[in-house]
Structure 1
Amino acid sequence: EAVKGAMPELTKMRKEGLIKAWGFGVNRPEPALRAIEEADPDIFLLACQYSLLDHAQALHDTFPKIAKHGASVVVGA
């Protein structure tokens, strides 16, 4: 599982200066929210529905939680 394998190694590589940042893309926000609780990613690509008509959950829940952990978001809707 990535949370116990790749993610800690990527964080270690960042701390050692081998990489500047790491992150991953998801289709739903739940994996990103889980990752910020269990790992230390720097950025997410959220390939989910986000538009002027469908944005309330992202603005009030997903984005603030990710920002609180210091990670960035790229929306690829």
Structure 2
Amino acid sequence: MPPGGWPAAPPPRAAAGAGPLRAPHPPPPAELNRTFTTTLPAGTYCNVVAAAPGSCDGNGTTVADDGTATITVPARGAVALHI
């Protein structure tokens, strides 16, 4: 089930389901910084696209108790949260 609370404009650029929250292809042409409502439980999740193998230092995304997460997708980049 995709997350609710999509911004009105520009069109949504994130998707979630049984797997991690991730930016769909193609990646955004400019940095995208938004707060999304997810179906993930509260906690900190590693952005495995940006993290070094075996370490998540500095690459965590926090999902709040209400299910929201503020995520920055780099220009022409992606975010994939390990759950």
- Determine if the TM-score, normalized by the shorter chain, exceeds 0.5: no
Q: Which is richer in strand?
A: 2
- Higher alpha-carbon Rg: 1
Q: TM-score, normalised by structure 2?
A: 0.29
Which structure has more relative contact order (CA 8 Å, sep 6+)? It is 2
Q: TM-score, normalised by structure 1?
A: 0.30
Q: Which is richer in helix?
A: 1
